[in-house]
Amino acid sequence: MNVSLILILFAVGWTITGMIAKFFMEPKGFGLYFDRDAFSLTLLTIIEFFFYRIYYNRPTAIDKGTQ
């Protein structure tokens, strides 16, 4: 279930960050190695890092010691 969540968020997130990148920059981007797609994937990586850090650090009932 976690893998499917990660795959769905990656696909949807890449689409959204691709639209954001298309709004702000040309297809050539900032150079040969950092084009618009690389920018959108970098932006997605940063967003997903903070999302997963918050999502997977939530305490569960097992962590609290309750059953």
Q: What is the pLDDT of residue 60?
A: 65
What's the CA gap between 9 and 20, in Å, rounded?
16
The region that residue 26 occupies, defined by phi over 0 for left and psi between -120 and 50 for alpha, beta otherwise, is beta
pLDDT of residue 20: 92
Give the DSSP H or E segment for 47: helix 36-55
- Give the tens place of pLDDT for each residue, 22-66: 998 888 888 788 899 999 999 999 999 999 888 888 766 666 665
Mean pLDDT of 5-19: 94
Which residues neighbour 44 within 8 Å (Cβ) at sequence distance 6 or greater? Answer: 10, 13, 14, 17
Integer CA distances (angstroms), 23 to 12, 16, 17, 19, 52, in order: 17, 11, 10, 6, 26
Q: Residue 67's pLDDT is what?
A: 55
